[in-house]
Each structure stands twice: as C-alpha cells, then as structure tokens.
Chains A and B, each alone.
Chain A
Amino acid sequence: MKYTPKPIPEGINVTPQHPLLDFGYLIATIVLISALIFFSLGWLAEWLAIKISPTTETQIGQMLLSTTMPALSSNVLQTDPRLDYLQNNLLPALAGKTQPPLTVHLFDDDIINAAILPGGHILVWTGLLKAVQSENELAFVLAHEVAHFKHRDPLRMLGRSLVMLSLLTVLGIGNNQSLAGLPSLVSQTGELIGLQYSRQQEQAADEEALSNVIQHYGHGGQALDFFKRLAEKEPQRGGELNISRYFSTHPPTLERLAQLAQLAKVRGWTMTGAITPLPRW
C-alpha cells in the first residue's frame, strides 16, 4: 500500500461560529430566562410578602433596621424636639393607629430625604426639615411614606429584592464569600431597599398622601410647594447633591405634580388655604 500525502482538511472539529456570536447568544438566552424567572418569582414573592402578619413585619423591620442604621453613617437623634413633634404630633394626625405602629427615626444630616422600611420605620433626615417651609409641605412628604407603608410597598420590595439576591447567588454573581450566610443576604436586601418603587406605587402613594393631607387640613394648599421648589431646581440637578438624593429614590417631580393637579381637579379638592407654620425648634 502506497502512502500519498494529502492536505489535512480544516474545520472538521471546530464549529465555524464566531466566538462573539456564540457568546452573545448565550448572554441573551440567559438574560431572557433570568428575567422571566425574576419577574414571575418576584410577582410570587410580592404576593406572599403582603400576606405577612404585622408581628412578623415588626420582626423583619427590627432586623433590617439593625443592619440599615449603621450603614447610613448619619447621626441618629435619640431625643430631639423635632423627633418628638414628628412622632407624637404630625404622624398620629396623618396616619392614625397602625399595625405595626409607626416609628420615626431622625438622622442628623443635610440629606433632603425621607424613607420607609418594613415594620413601619420612617427615616427622616434633618435636611428635609430645613428644606420644608410649612407644616403642610412636611405633612405631604410624611403622608407619602405612610401611604407606602399602608400599601405594604416596602414588604413587596423586600420580597422582590430577596428573589433577586437569591437568583444572583444561584448564578454565582452575588456575594461569593459567604454563599451560605443568611445574615449577609438579609443585610444586602436592606441595602437594596433603597431601590425605586414602581411608578404606579409612587403615584398611588402620592394620591393617598394628598387625600390624607386634605383630610387633615381641610385643603391641599402649600402641600405641594416643596415639590414645586424641587421641580424648579430640577434642571440644575447635577450641582445640587442633596436634592439629587431625593430624585434617586423618587420619580421626576414635574410629572408627579401634573398628575396630582389633575387628580385634585377630578375629585374637586380645594387646593388653596391657610398655611400651617412649622413649630419653632
């Protein structure tokens, strides 16, 4: 048998597919499937989260508070006339009795913001108290957070964040160091609480807040002035660090104002009235 050398054919054992195309296809598939799982599980988690009993919510709130508070690195004011006023005067007037009860935590910092954690923990920064010019303005901001609480939005968000973190952990892109550690999972969820609520949740909270403020004062005058001032500053947002903080957790102000004005028109609410000044502190 004679041996005749023949050229070796190419590409038998290598698929003629560009590696980037293959990579793109993989990424797209995985992102799509993860998104599907995330949304369906997230929906399920929300559905379950709002079924949590007030007692359990209190416990979750305690756990989150103990991890969130040190992470905020702002000074917590334990005894302060402003805290007393918020907790014992303004809040009961706006929210009444709730289960679990609402607790205000006042932070000594120039950040203009307010937030709510599960378990009825309202976080208020003193920057907000300096930025508002009347009680009506402050009441609206506070009532907005209370409305989130009543709609159980923080719990929904917690459910969603837990699903997201679990998925990230399963995919191995989350916290690699302590996969098994539940405490780290919970603390990270606490950080994720700072994520945005959906537009619908924000709008619903706005509507209930305005309705509550009107119930309390008899009119909606001045309540939205704080937002009007924010809206004026909105274009130069970049320079205003403290204000941008508020935008990072809340949707664009102009849109919200327009929606509220429309709502007031439809419901026939009085949008002017006597101003209620802030107490002196």
Chain B
Amino acid sequence: MGNFLEILIFLSLLALGYFAGRYFERKHYKSIRLRESQMLYIPLVTFGAKPPWPNAKEAKLFVGCVVISTDYFKTISAGLRNLVGGRVMAYETLLDRGRREALLRLKEQAIEWGASQILNVRLETSSIWGAEGKQSVGNVEVIAYGTGIKE
C-alpha cells in the first residue's frame, strides 16, 4: 500500500512535470521567437574587445540575466540518462531558452538606452541547486553581457 502510494505520487509528479513543463516551454519559445524577430534590427556581435571603435560616442555595459528551472520530468529523464550516458536531450531546451532569453533581456535594455550596436557579447552559465542531494530540482542561470555603443 505504501509502495503503491509512493508510485502514484511519483507518477503524478512526473505527469505534472511533463505537462506543465511542456506548456510553459512552448509559451516561452513563442515569446522568445516573437521578441527575437522584433529586435533583430540591432546588431549583436562577439567582437569589439580589442579593435578601436572610432565612431562610438558613448558606451555602456549591459547585463541580461535569467534563471530557468527544470521540471520533474526533465530531472528524472536526465537522471536516467546519467545511468547510461549520452546526450542529455532533456536539458537542451532548458539551456537554449536560457541563452536566448538572456540575450533578449540584454538587447531590451540596450535598445531602451538607445544603442546602435552591442559589441563583445559573452555568455556565462552556472547551475543553482535547490538543496544537496539527487532529488532536488536544478536551476540554470545564464548571463549575457556586452557593450552597447551609440554612434
């Protein structure tokens, strides 16, 4: 009976993680695609650290940062993946969303300031864990930073 209840709780958490996770992920991707197309006009480049930028009148550092959590389904799926090895496909969308969202937040701030270009853009990722132990749900933080310039 106790075991049965445990299995039931596990399965419902799995279903919750899957359906809720998928719903929010779709919603997020929709918003990401929309905002990406809206802000596509502003160049965002990875160079610009060393070469001089004579036309730039003003420059400012911008940081876009986002924390995204996995869901129960993804955690279990990745946990199973840990046993056999291979691509952790469950977490691919998580990181993809994180990177794109961080860049979007960076762009949004830069556009508001009036930047014409964003130079020397870098991405950093770190993981945030709820608690020690296997069962805790992991979060991923993605930071995008770059220099916005006004020409």
Contacts and interface: CB of A to CB of B under 8 A. Distances in A.
Nearest to A21: B89
Contacts of B74: 19
A23 B40 contact: no
A5 B40 contact: yes
B122 interface: no
Interface stretch (B55-63, B91-99, B124-132, B137-145): B91-99
B80 A27 contact: yes
B89 A19 contact: yes
Contact of A26 (B77, B95, B99): B77
Measured as residues with beta carbon below 8 angstroms from the partner, the interface class of chain A is 20 to 34
A13 B96 contact: yes
B81 A14 contact: no
A229 B43 CA distance: 87
Question: For A3, A17, A30, A33, which residue has the most chain B Cβ atoms within 10 angstroms?
Answer: A3
B50 interface: no
A2 B151 CA distance: 14
Contact of B84 (A8, A23, A26): A26
A277 interface: no
A272 interface: no
B90 to A, nearest CB: 6
Measured as residues with beta carbon below 8 angstroms from the partner, the interface class of chain B is 20 to 34
Contacts of B36: 8
Interface in B47-78: 73-74, 76-77
A17 B89 contact: yes
B96 A7 contact: no
Contact of A19 (B18, B33, B95, B99): B18
Contacts of A79: none
A23 B41 contact: no
A14 B93 contact: yes
A23 to B, nearest CB: 5
B37 A7 contact: yes
Interface in B10-37: 18, 22, 33, 36-37
Contact of A13 (B80, B81, B92): B92
B80 A23 contact: yes
A26 B81 contact: yes
A255 interface: no
Interface string A11-29: 0011101011011001101
9 contacts: A7-B37, A8-B36, A13-B96, A15-B89, A19-B18, A23-B76, A23-B80, A26-B77, A29-B84
Interface of B: 18, 22, 33, 36-37, 40-41, 43, 73-74, 76-77, 80-81, 83-84, 87, 89-90, 92-93, 95-96, 99, 117, 134
